[in-house]
Amino acid sequence: MTEPTQTPPAAILFDLDGTLVDSLPDLLRAMNALLAEMGRPPVTAKQVRGWVGDGAGPLVERAMLATGGPSEISLRELVKRYLGHYAGNTAVGTRPFPGVEETLQSLKAAGHPLGVCTNKPTALSLELLDALGLSGLFGAIVGGDTVTARKPDPAHLLATLAAMGMDGRRALMVGDSANDVAAARAAGIPVVAVAFGYSRIDPKELGADALIDDFTELPEAAARFL
């Protein structure tokens, strides 16, 4: 008698900033270092919180507009300078949100392949997760600078799954922003949103399949879709 084939555990993809980690202290420090060297006024944590999620270019551009308008220096150069302040200091004040480490370990122990799909540059994402002792939990960490199209384009999610040796037939996205939800929807993947992240709109209005207030709620929420 042939034994029934057991379905392998589904892959789970995670956004990084605002989902796994509260990186606002270090993003703010790097941005204000850039502004200080330009002779511009500092910005606040509240401002930076509302600008995060689309990658370094839009973040720097928004800071320029908020502190005096476009600079004569090219955006490309400004982003390079900003990342120079950030690199090597990604985990000074950044910490995982409560419950993240133990929940990730539990999901991995249950057999779920885990991956990070973030608009943050890949090298800086690796640096941060290495510093926090979390990088070994993930089969792939794919930043927005190493794909042809980044979130909200579904190609970013699918590229991350491919890097993990998985496909989108059994997968879940976990994020905090409209970009995460839109990318998952376009890829045909269910999505769980966290209520404590950096969303520029009310998290209840993101349109995710589930919304969690605490990261430890994720396994139960994920089980409903996987």
> 27: left (phi > 0), else alpha (psi -120 to 50), else beta?
alpha
Instruction: Write the secondary structure of 162-198 as one string of H (helix), E (strand) and C (coil).
Output: HHCCCCCCCEEEEECCHHHHHHHHHHCCCEEEECCCC
Catalytic residue of the set 15, 22, 153, 180: 15
Helical residues (DSSP H) of the chain, grouped into ranges:
24-37, 45-51, 56-66, 75-86, 100-109, 122-131, 154-163, 178-187, 218-223
> 225: left (phi > 0), else alpha (psi -120 to 50), else beta?
alpha
- The number of angstroms, rounded, from the C-alpha of 127 to the middle of its chain's C-alpha atoms is 14
130 classed as catalytic: no
Q: Is the Cβ–Cβ distance between 175 and 193 less than 8 Å?
A: yes
Interior/surface letters 184-209, b for 16+ CB within 10 angstroms, e for the rest = bbebebbbbbbbbbbbeeebeebebb
Residues with catalytic function: 15
